[in-house]
Structure 1
Amino acid sequence: MATSASSKDDWADIFLSAALEPEKWGQAIHAMAQATGSRHGQLIGFGAGASAFNWISEIDDSILAKSASIEQSAPDLNFRVAADRLPDRPAIVHEAHYDIARRSLRADDYLDLCSDFDIFDGCQSKLVASDHQMIGLALLRGSKDGRTTEGQRALFADIAGHARTAVRLQQAIEQQGFALLAGTFEAMDRACWLLDATGRVGGMTPRAENLLSTSRIRVSDGWLASDRADETRAILRAVRTVIEPPGRAADPVALADADGGVAIMLEFYPLPVRPWALPFAPRAIAIARVGAPSDRHVQLLTRTFRLTPAEADIAIRLAAGQSRPDIAAARGVSAATLKVQLRSIYDKTGCQRESQLVRIVGLISH
């Protein structure tokens, strides 16, 4: 059912409802399009990784797949992005600015998209802008709609103010999830980092914060990293795995100690994503296990070297620096049984010395 509005109070209510019940964003941008005589309303976000989203009212869903193949945030491809970067451009960018921006495009990919879906004209405004992210509101108009009039742009400007307030409210609500989840993990006494839709750290537990000052793990420009380039690359690969759709658990990343063993095991898991969620909510969790075996690391070793789960557990404990007596005690086996199991591990991995085994275990997840 369409939503209509006739006053500022109506628009405030429509967008307040969208912030509190995000599934109503579709109704809100559809009402905006109707009120301005436009074919479509759009709420769009650009950013690193999976923070990008594109919600368009009343349009063929195939546009999402086609637009995904275009680098929409590139100003030399997308004239709407280029128009927003023009000097002295107003708060509401419109067709006059699009005309200028189209002259400097290096390819016709986005122009072809606009032609296919008849969305050449319209106007737009930024709602949120930062170094890492932009969320914008737009009208997309077809050939029958014509160019926006001054009156339509004035109404759009008023609506954009309400939409901006709604986005900020939803941002505040979603970011509360970081505090709530961090509190839960704090109670579990875990070193945990919560990642947003860009993959950046949005919150952490006290134990995780302490680990930043006592280990090689660090947060650089919001990203979880190590002071070793190879480990940082492995971390970023794992982050992409849990953040990018469909979002799945990543293979653990082992951070080596000075001797090449496993000092810290980082595990990455995606969180459920609500439909119509903006990029501010927690999207993934990174958990550090210090000197402890990892179930997923055990699975990696069993797949790679055909170790039994018990053998993989022993190999990880050995690589984490645990002594043979401690491993035997933890496993509940005798020293003789442990010796037999270690011999089998060496045979399966092709190692001749303990130091070789430690290095293999430490680097297997890279």
Structure 2
Amino acid sequence: MRQRHPYDWDDLFLDAALDPGKWLGALDTMASRTGSSRGQLIGVGAGRDIPFNMVTSFTPAMIRKPESHDWYSETANFRVAASNRQVARGHYDPILHEDHYDEVIPSLASRDYIEWCEEIGIPFGCQTNLVVDDFGIVGLSTLRSRRDGRTTPVQRRIFAEAAVAARRAVRLQEKLEGHQAHLFAGAFDAIAINAFIIDARGHLLAQTVAAEALLQSGAVRRVGSSIDADGAPHTLRALIQGLLADGGAPHVRTMLAATDDAEPLMIEGFRLPEREWSLGKLPHAILVVNAPKRDRAGVTAYLSAIYRLSLAEADIALRLFEGKTRAQISEERGVTGETLRGQIKQIYQKCGVNGEAALMRRLAPFFA
């Protein structure tokens, strides 16, 4: 009877899907158990929202090198060439290894990528596609040095077992990321917030019932996968671009133009805290129309969703905005001054401010 490899790959990779910060550790375990120097998870393709490349024991400069030299084309990269050749034949997820690399290397237009792989110690390895869809490809690989040697059949079998679990984990993480926008919309509906949720490309992911009514009335219009509306001092599209730009403002606002006899609407954009990496399905920003003004419960839940404040931290932020002293807040909440100082420090970090005055400016739009 064939002996199974005694490792729970599902436990390892599904844990990473639920906590993406654990992916590098999972890849490192996969590399170790296949006798490889490094493990890799990579997302490529023009349609993929946020291309990513995670390689264990790689510096950022090493990860950027192939990008800067355009080495992800099939004419330069034997790994890409081997994968593309199989996809063209209708084989979307085979386990590819050194034999497949040997077949395509003679047809490469340059040996630059090959020489770089020798230089940093990754000339060998095996790979497979976890996802091939309209967004591009998510691939899993082991990268091996000459000391590691070419992969053996046993090592490829272990890799294949790991890949089955990794594929399930990637699909799960994509679904979890994709559902977050709808979870936001549902939560905002429950506290009467009128909101649109957009991704890192400015595409509309979800909206509340009240926001859908704005689309139906024409106050906000769909433009392809995004939304727009006339306004001052910015159009809605310009507001969205400000939230998407690198180094752009975390909070922007504009007044939408009135339609018919309706009152003008204030719309505000809030960029969500950034994750270290994602599969590209996460909400990037929330656009709010007529946010609750003096509803403590609504604003507290809103701050929790936007800035990931705990309910206690959101309540403290509101009390600070109301002008209460720290001594008053400590007494009202039944905590020590030292505990309160630690909570306020966390509030500053999560809201991206460096002091109480900046926090007040950050909270002011909720009460304008």
TM-score if structure 1 supplies the norm length?
0.62
Alignment of 1:292-303 (within 5 A): none
Q: Does 1:224 align with 2:222?
A: no
Offset of residue 198 of structure 1: 5.0
Q: Tell me what 2:207 maps to.
A: 204
Task: List runs of 5+ in structure 2 lacking aligned partners.
Answer: 292-368
Alignment TM-score, normalising by the size of structure 2: 0.61
Q: Deviations over 1:239-262 (max 9, x none)?
A: 641xx5x66437668877899xx9
1:157-192 C-alpha deviation (Å, 9 max, x unpaired): 111001111222233333342233112332454543
Q: Does the CA contact (< 8 Å) of 1:191 and 1:211 recur in 2?
A: no
Q: Does residue 1:181 correspond to 2:184, yes or no?
A: yes
Residue in structure 2 matched with residue 169 of structure 1 by the alignment: 172
Q: CA shift at 1:19, angstroms?
A: 2.3
Matches within 5 A, 1:1-366: 7=5, 9-47=7-45, 48=47, 51-71=50-70, 73-86=72-85, 87-88=88-89, 89=91, 91-106=94-109, 110-111=113-114, 113-187=116-190, 189-215=192-218, 217-218=221-222, 220=224, 223-226=225-228, 234=238, 237-238=241-242, 240-241=244-245, 248-249=249-250, 267-275=268-276, 277-287=278-288
- Contact map agreement 1:49 1:240 (CA 8 A) in 2: no
| Residue type at the aligned position of 1:35 | R
Residues 49 and 130 (structure 1 numbering): CA distance in 2 closer, same or farther, change over 3 Å?
Answer: closer
Contact 2:239 2:269 in 1 (8 A): no
- Residue segments in structure 1 that go unaligned for 5+ positions in a row: 1-5, 291-366
Query: May I ask how many residue pairs the two structures share in their alignment?
Result: 277
| Structure 2 CA distance for aligned equivalents of residues 184 and 112 of structure 1 | 53
Contact kept? 1:192, 1:288, Cα under 8 Å: yes
| 1:323 counterpart residue number | none
Three-state SS of the structure 2 residue aligned to 1:85 is helix
Over the matched positions of the two proteins, sequence identity in percent amounts to: 38
| Alignment RMSD (CA, Å) | 3.8
CA distance in 1, matches of 2:168, 2:69: 30
Q: Cα 1:122–1:288, aligned 2, differ >3 Å: closer, same or farther?
A: farther
Contact 2:40–2:56 at 8 Å: present in 1 too? yes
**CA 1:273 to 1:60, structure 2 compared with 1: closer, same or farther past 3 Å?**
same
Give, in angstroms, the shift of residue 263 of structure 1.
Answer: 7.6
